[in-house]
Amino acid sequence: MKRFKAFLKKVLSVMTRPDMAILPGQLAFFFVLSVVPIVTLITYGASFLHLSVDFIANFLEKAFGSEVAELIMPIVSIPNVNIGFFITIIIGYYIASNGAASIIITSNAIYGIDNTSFARRRFKALIMTFIIVLLFMFILIVPVFGNHIINMVKYVNMNENITKILVFIFNLLKGPVAWFIIFFFIKLIYTLAPDRKLESTNVNYGAIFTTVMWIIVTAMYSYYINHFANYALFYGGLANIVMLMLWVYFLAFIFVIGMALNQKEEISKLEKTGVIKTNN
């Protein structure tokens, strides 16, 4: 009970930090932008499986809702891997990397580290963005839209053996396996973000917190999109867009809390070993 109270005290102290009023919204914005390269890559994978654009559009409408699907459809409508495809990927990827750059700058501020040169920071941001894209791609494909994709695979029934293999893989990735993969990616981002070397064990505290909270929030969002939304009574046709934005914002908010928790945990360890003395 004492540990739980101490944990809640740490979380509340982190939530009152001045940067908590700014960074989550900024990260959420760039997280949404990262959807562009993610959806484009998923669409290319679907076209590689010879799925029609109409079929993909129907899936997006069932998964996201008609309003969100209409926003994504211009991306889905790219017919072939041409110069336009690569321009869309590059522009979307570079813009999305601003989110990773914000994570680096904020982590430096939290840990009291001076920022490195712009070129070095941007290069690391591009690497981190790739990790973030993989993380969000995994979350969207498995925990959020896993059931939709399984139903789609069964409906298409390209090949009985391939269908069985894909269904088996999706079922295998659910639960603890998915949680571990999410934890691994989050821990990797936390470790890479600051411009100084961090021991990987020093980010476990925040990574576990973020993973657990992301799983809970994502499960709630997945339940919403797989069933119905009472928010539609208030927002009408904008309900799905509102819920998508809220989901992304909460993920960003939790992510920042986890980062700050890692810093406080590191300070606590140093205090216990007598390396530093501080009242923070």
Average pLDDT, integer, range 162-186:
84
| 190 contacts 206 by C-beta, under 8 angstroms | yes
Q: 148 pLDDT exceeds 90?
A: no
Q: Is residue 57 part of a domain?
A: yes
pLDDT at 241: 72
Q: Is residue 277 part of a domain?
A: no
pLDDT at 236: 54
Q: Is residue 13 part of a domain?
A: no
Helix H or strand E segment including 199: none
Q: 280 pLDDT exceeds 50?
A: no
Q: 122 pLDDT exceeds 80?
A: yes
Q: Longest C-alpha distance within the chain, in Å?
A: 64
| 96 contacts 129 by C-beta, under 8 angstroms | yes
Q: Is residue 274 part of a domain?
A: no
Q: Using one digit for the tens of pLDDT, what is the confidence trace for 230-251?
A: 555 555 556 667 777 888 888 8
Q: Is residue 11 part of a domain?
A: no
pLDDT at 49: 59
pLDDT at 213: 93
More confident residue, 87 or 63: 87
Q: 111 pLDDT exceeds 70?
A: yes
| Burial category of 77 from C-beta neighbours within 10 Å (exposed 0-12, middle 13-18, buried 19 and up) | exposed
Backbone angles phi, psi at 279, to 5 degrees: -100, 0
Question: How many beta carbons lie within 10 A of that of residue 203, not counting itself?
Answer: 27
Average pLDDT, the chain: 76
User: How many Cα atoms occupy the beta-carbon half-sphere of 258 within 13 Å?
Assistant: 27
pLDDT at 99: 78
Q: Using one digit for the tens of pLDDT, what is the confidence trace for 20-39?
A: 777 778 778 777 766 666 66
Can you read off the two tokens belonging to residue 179? 């949680």
Verdict on whether the full-model pTM lies above 0.85: no
pLDDT at 260: 87
Q: Is residue 55 part of a domain?
A: yes
Alpha-carbon gap, residue 26 to 110, rounded angstroms: 16
Q: Which range of residues forms the domain containing residue 263?
A: 19-267
pLDDT at 103: 85
Measured CA distances, 252 to 7, 45, 227, 263 (Å): 20, 27, 24, 17
Average pLDDT, integer, range 197-206:
85
- What's the domain count of the chain? 1
User: How many Cα atoms occupy the beta-carbon half-sphere of 275 within 13 Å?
Assistant: 7
pLDDT at 185: 94
Q: 60 pLDDT exceeds 60?
A: yes
